[in-house]
Amino acid sequence: MLSSSLPPLEQLYLGLDLSTQQLKCLAITGSLSMVHEEIVTFDSDLPHYGTKKGVHMDSALNEVTAPVAMWIEALDLALSRMKKAGFEFGRVRGVSGAGQQHGSVFWSEEAEGALGGLDPGKGLMEQLAGEENGLGGVFTWERSPNWQDHSTQAQCDAFERHVGGEEILAGITGSKAHHRFTGPQILRFYQRFPGRYERTSRISLVSSFLCSLLLGRIAPIDIGDVCGMNLWDMRSNTWSQELLDLSAPDLGSRLGGVEMQPGKHLGPVSGYFVKRFGFSEECIITSFTGDNPSTILALPLRPLDAIISLGTSTTLLMATPTYFPSPSYHLFNHPTDKGLYMFMLCYCNGASAREKIRDEIISASTSSSDPWKGFNEKALSTPPLGKRLKTDDAKLGIYFPIPEIVPNVRAGTWRYRISPTGNLKKVESFDSGADARAIIESQALSMRLRANPLLSTSTPAQPQRVYLVGGASKNPAITKVLRQVLGGKEGVYRLDDFVAERWEEGGRIVKVGEGYEEGVWERYGDVLGAFKEVERRIGSEE
Ligand SMILES: Nc1ncnc2c1ncn2[C@@H]1O[C@H](COP(=O)(O)OP(=O)(O)O)[C@@H](O)[C@H]1O
Ligand SMILES: O=C(CO)[C@@H](O)[C@H](O)COP(=O)(O)O
C-alpha cells in the first residue's frame, strides 16, 4: 500500500484490475501520478477459498475455475482497506478497469434488483453472496471458468465443424476455437447444467462483471473484450447469430448489448459506494475491458512495436490496421481506436512453467533471498541453444506443466538435440543450465515463429521496440534471452510504472538492452524450422 499527501482538490481516477491471482486498485491524479495502490492477493488474503494461484484446478476434467464470491469479497476488502487508510473517495472523478479475459459470470433474474438495491449498512458479500459457496439467488453458478481451463475440446470441435473449419472460424471471430473462449464455455455450461442456464438471465465477462458491481446494474460487454468469446463477428461488428444459436437458446438476450463506443461513460457510481465509501455522486464509471486490451492502452504503440506481458500468462500484443485472421493467433478489436486491431498470442505456460523449472534445478540449499538468483546464473552462463562449439548439438526444450494453448497440446516436457547437420533426436535430460536457458528460449522462439507473418513486412523481421511488462519483466536473465531471440530494432524496454506522466518517457521506461545482437538473432532464426517440427511431433503424439 502506498499513500502520499495530495495538493488540495486534486481530482483522482481509480483503475481496477481483476487478474488471475490478484485484485489491484490504483488511484492516480489527472497528470497520471500514482497516489495509492491496494492489492488483494487471493491465495494469501482470502485463504478460506482454498485457491492456488487464484484458481481451483480439477485435473481429471481439465477444468479450471475461480469462485465468484472471492472476487466480490476482494472488492469489499480492497475498498475497506483504502477507507481505513484514509483514502478520500470523494475526490475520485472516474473509475475504469480491466479483467482477466474470457471468464464468464452467470447472473439470475434477481441480479439487477440486488445490484441496484444494495444496503450501504452492509458489505457486498453478505448481500450478493448466499450461504452455500458464498452465493445465493443472485448467481446461477458460484464459479467462473478460468482462461487456463481446457475442458471444452468437444465444444471447440463443434464450433469449428459448424462453420466449416478453424480458418473460417478465425475469419469470422478473429480466432479459431479455443478452450477458454466464452462461447465454447457457455455451450459446455448449457450442456452440463441446462436448468441453471434456464435460470440465467444475464451473462457477463469478468471485466463487465466488475464494472456491474460498481455501476449498480449489469454493464455492457466492451468492444475489445467481446472478441475473446468466439461469438462476435469481427467483419460486421455484430454478434454472430449462427454461433449464438449453436451455443445455447436465447443467448443473445442473456449477453445483452455490446458497448461500441470506446471508453463510454456508462453512468455514475452506484449509490451504495457513495454512501458506504464516500464516493462523489458525480463519479463516472467508464467501460471496463480485458486485461490484454487494456495493456495495449498503456503505451502509444507504433506499427511493429510489441508489448510482451510476462504475468501468469505470457502474452505478446501488437497493434495493426490490417484484419488478417489466422488460426495461429488472435485478432481483437482495439479497445479504443476504431479500425485498429490488437494482434495477440497467449500462452498458459508462462510464469508457473518458469517457476517449476527453477524449483527443479535449484536445490533448496542454494536458495538466497532472491529465488531467481541461481536460475538466472545458470541461464546466463549457458550459451544460446546450449551450444558452445560449432560441432555441438543445439538444444531445444519445451516445458508445459499444464496443457498449452499455443500449440493446443497436453502437458509434458520434451527435450530435443539438433545435430549440426540438422537431425533431430529426442533426449531425456539436459544439464540444468541448458534447461534454464531452453525454457526462456522456447517461449521466445514460439512467439517469434508466430509473430513472423506480421513482422516480416519489414527487414529484418523484428519488432521495432519491445516493451516488457508484468512480474518477470524485472528478471535480467529472462529479459536478456528474450531480446536475443526476438530482436527489437530500437531496443527492449521495461515499463517501471504503467502510469506514465502523460507519456513522458523519462524515468518511466527503462531500456534493458539493445534488441538485435548480430549473429545471435540469426542463430535462433536457423532453428525455427526445427522448432516447428518439434511442435508438430508433440502435437501428433496426442
Ligand atoms: N524477479 C522475477 N523473476 C521472474 N519471475 C518473476 C519475478 N518476480 C515475479 N515473477 C513472476 O511474476 C508472476 C506474477 O506476475 P503478474 O504480472 O503480477 O501477474 P498477473 O498475471 O496476476 O497480473 C509470478 O507468478 C512470478 O512467477
Ligand atoms: O487468456 C488470456 C488472454 O487470452 C489471459 O491473458 C488472461 O487474460 C489472464 O491474464 P493474466 O491473469 O495473466 O493477466
Residue 273 lies in a domain: yes
For residue 131, what pLDDT band results from cuts at 50, 70 and 90?
Answer: low
Q: Is the CB of 18 under 6 A from ligand 1?
A: no
Q: Which residue has the higher pLDDT, 86 or 457?
A: 86
Identify the residue whose C-alpha is closest to ligand 2 atom 14: 19
Residue 193 lies in a domain: yes
Residue 335 lies in a domain: no
Q: Is the CB of 54 under 6 A from ligand 1?
A: no
One domain, residues 282 and 388: no
Could you read off the pLDDT of 213-230 as tens digits, one per residue?
A: 999 999 999 999 999 999
The dihedral sign for the CA sequence 250, 256, 257, 262: negative
Residue 344 lies in a domain: no
Q: What is the pLDDT of residue 405?
A: 87
Q: What is the pLDDT of residue 495?
A: 81
Q: Is the CB of 43 under 6 A from ligand 1?
A: no
Distance 246 CA to ligand 1 centre (A): 38
- Judge residue 230's burial from the number of C-beta atoms within 10 Å of its C-beta, 0-12 exposed, 13-18 middle, 19 or more buried: buried
One domain, residues 289 and 358: no
For residue 276, what pLDDT band results from cuts at 50, 70 and 90?
Answer: very high
pLDDT reading at 499 higher than 50 = no
* Percent of the chain whose pLDDT exceeds 90: 80
For residue 507, what pLDDT band results from cuts at 50, 70 and 90?
Answer: low
Residue 398 lies in a domain: yes
Distance 122 CA to ligand 2 centre (A): 32
pLDDT reading at 5 higher than 60 = no
Distance 309 CA to ligand 1 centre (A): 10
Give the number of the ligand closest to the Cα of residue 102.
2
One domain, residues 279 and 132: yes
One domain, residues 110 and 253: yes
| Residues in Cβ contact with 121 at an 8 Å cutoff, skipping those fewer than 6 apart | none
User: Which uninterrupted H or E stretch holds 478?
Assistant: helix 476-486
Closest ligand 1 atom to 22 CA: 22
Closest ligand 2 atom to 19 CA: 12
- To test the pocket of ligand 2, the residue of 24, 65, 100 to mutate (highest count of ligand atoms within 8 Å of its CB) is 100
Residue 337 lies in a domain: no
Distance 291 CA to ligand 2 centre (A): 7
List ligand 2's pocket residues with C-beta within 6 A: 19-20, 100-102, 147, 180, 228, 290-292, 311-313, 315, 346
Q: What is the pLDDT of residue 1?
A: 45
Q: How far is CA 534 from CA 383, 398, 527, in A?
A: 21, 9, 10
Give the number of the ligand closest to the Cα of residue 379.
1
Distance 148 CA to ligand 2 centre (A): 8
Could you read off the pLDDT of 170-222 as tens digits, one per residue?
A: 999 999 999 999 999 999 999 999 999 999 999 999 999 999 999 999 999 99
Closest ligand 2 atom to 344 CA: 4
Unique residue bearing C-alpha cell 483514502: 87
Q: Is the CB of 468 under 6 A from ligand 1?
A: no
Distance 478 CA to ligand 2 centre (A): 19
Give the number of the ligand closest to the Cα of residue 351.
1
Residue 326 lies in a domain: no
- To test the pocket of ligand 1, the residue of 295, 310, 495 to mutate (highest count of ligand atoms within 8 Å of its CB) is 310
Q: Cα(187)–Cα(300) distance, rounded to whole angstroms? A: 37
DSSP string, 379-413: HHHSPGGG--STTSPEEEEEEESS-BTTTTB-SEE
Q: Is the CB of 372 under 6 A from ligand 1?
A: yes
Secondary structure (H, E, C), 29-70 = ECCCCEEEEEEEEHHHHCHHHCCECCEEEECCCCEEEEEHHH
Q: Which of 8-12, 24-28, 301-305 has the lowest mean pLDDT?
A: 8-12
Q: Cα(315)–Cα(292) distance, rounded to whole angstroms? A: 8
Could you say which of 275, 293, 311 is where a domain stops?
Answer: 293
- Judge residue 279's burial from the number of C-beta atoms within 10 Å of its C-beta, 0-12 exposed, 13-18 middle, 19 or more buried: buried
Give the number of the ligand closest to the Cα of residue 329.
2
Q: Is the CB of 312 under 6 A from ligand 1?
A: yes
| Average pLDDT over every residue of 498-503 | 44
- To test the pocket of ligand 2, the residue of 43, 101, 227, 329 to mutate (highest count of ligand atoms within 8 Å of its CB) is 101
Residue 339 lies in a domain: no
Is residue 75 within 8 A of residue 288, CB to CB? The reply is no
One domain, residues 237 and 386: no
Q: Is the CB of 99 under 6 A from ligand 1?
A: no
φ, ψ of residue 310 to 5 degrees: the values are: -105, 65
Q: What is the pLDDT of residue 436?
A: 97
| Residues in Cβ contact with 428 at an 8 Å cutoff, skipping those fewer than 6 apart | 415
One domain, residues 407 and 517: yes
Give the number of the ligand closest to the Cα of residue 148.
2
Q: What is the pLDDT of residue 2?
A: 45
Q: Is the CB of 185 under 6 A from ligand 1?
A: no
Q: Is the CB of 376 under 6 A from ligand 1?
A: no
Is residue 335 within 8 A of residue 294, CB to CB? The reply is yes
Q: Cα(494)–Cα(464) distance, rounded to whole angstroms? A: 14
Distance 218 CA to ligand 1 centre (A): 32
Classified as helix, coil or strand, 503 is: coil
Could you say which of 249, 270, 293 is where a domain stops?
Answer: 293
Q: Cα(132)–Cα(130) distance, rounded to whole angstroms? A: 6
Unique residue bearing C-alpha cell 472476487: 71
Q: Is the CB of 471 under 6 A from ligand 1?
A: yes
Q: Which residue has the higher pLDDT, 460 or 505?
A: 460
One domain, residues 362 and 435: yes
Distance 145 CA to ligand 1 centre (A): 22
Q: Cα(251)–Cα(519) distance, rounded to whole angstroms? A: 54
One domain, residues 11 and 91: yes
Q: What is the pLDDT of residue 501?
A: 42
Q: What is the pLDDT of residue 300?
A: 79
Q: What is the pLDDT of residue 458?
A: 82
Closest ligand 1 atom to 474 CA: 1
Classified as helix, coil or strand, 221 is: strand
| Average pLDDT over every residue of 462-467 | 94
CATH number at residue 243: 3.30.420.40
Q: Cα(167)–Cα(174) distance, rounded to whole angstroms? A: 10
DSSP string, 309-356: EESSSEEEEEEES-----TTSEEEE-SSSTT-EEEEEEESSSHHHHHH
Closest ligand 2 atom to 311 CA: 13
| Residues in Cβ contact with 506 at an 8 Å cutoff, skipping those fewer than 6 apart | none
pLDDT reading at 32 higher than 90 = no
Could you say which of 267, 293, 319 is where a domain stops?
Answer: 293
Expressed as residue numbers, the domain containing 28 is 2-293
pLDDT reading at 132 higher than 90 = no
| Average pLDDT over every residue of 117-136 | 79
Q: Which of 43-47, 136-140, 186-190, 417-421 has the lowest mean pLDDT?
A: 136-140
The dihedral sign for the CA sequence 335, 337, 339, 343: negative
Q: Which of 7-11, 79-83, 110-114, 476-480 has the lowest mean pLDDT?
A: 7-11
Q: How far is CA 438 from CA 72, 76, 235, 435, 520, in A?
A: 40, 42, 40, 5, 15
Closest ligand 1 atom to 310 CA: 17
One domain, residues 22 and 144: yes
| Average pLDDT over every residue of 52-78 | 96
One domain, residues 55 and 126: yes
Closest ligand 2 atom to 99 CA: 8
For residue 130, what pLDDT band results from cuts at 50, 70 and 90?
Answer: low
Q: What is the pLDDT of residue 336?
A: 85
Number of domains in the chain: 2
Distance 455 CA to ligand 1 centre (A): 27
For residue 262, what pLDDT band results from cuts at 50, 70 and 90?
Answer: confident
Identify the residue whose C-alpha is closest to ligand 1 atom 4: 472
φ, ψ of residue 65 to 5 degrees: the values are: -140, 165
Q: Which residue has the higher pLDDT, 303 or 509?
A: 303
Closest ligand 1 atom to 291 CA: 23
Could you read off the pLDDT of 377-413 as tens digits, one per residue?
A: 999 999 999 999 999 999 999 999 998 989 989 999 9
- Judge residue 456's burial from the number of C-beta atoms within 10 Å of its C-beta, 0-12 exposed, 13-18 middle, 19 or more buried: exposed
One domain, residues 156 and 59: yes
Could you read off the pLDDT of 308-365 as tens digits, one per residue?
A: 999 888 999 998 888 999 998 999 999 888 888 999 999 999 998 999 999 999 875 4
Amino acid identity for residue 143 in this structure: R
